[in-house]
Amino acid sequence: SDSLFKKIMPILQMVIKFLSQLMKLIFCFFFFSGSPADRADLEVGDEILEVNGQALEGCTHAEIIAHIHKVSL
């Protein structure tokens, strides 16, 4: 089951990235236990509307990811 997950995860990531770009939305679909997303009580399926007070509306997927990576932990 773990190896199946590892095989399908890249495909799921591509599909979600495509849909996110298409709909200009970003959803939480996977995070690690103890990660900042976990500590913030995000759940799989949550839509992320802002990061550190900055609204994400109109941002591209790449811009959103870059902003997430800029946030100090």
Instruction: Give tens-digit pLDDT for 4-16.
Output: 878 888 887 787 7
- Cβ atoms of residues 73 and 36 within 8 Å: yes
Q: Is the pLDDT of residue 67 over 60?
A: yes
- Condensed to tens digits (0 to 9), the pLDDT of residues 34-43 reads 877 788 888 7
The pLDDT of 25-33, averaged and rounded, is 67
Percent helix, strand, coil in the chain, to 5, is 50, 10, 40
Q: Please list, in sequence order, all residues whose beta carbon lies within 8 angstroms of the beta carbon of residue 57, skipping any fewer than 6 positions away.
A: 24, 49
Res 26: pLDDT: 62
Q: 25: which 2 tokens?
A: 């939305």
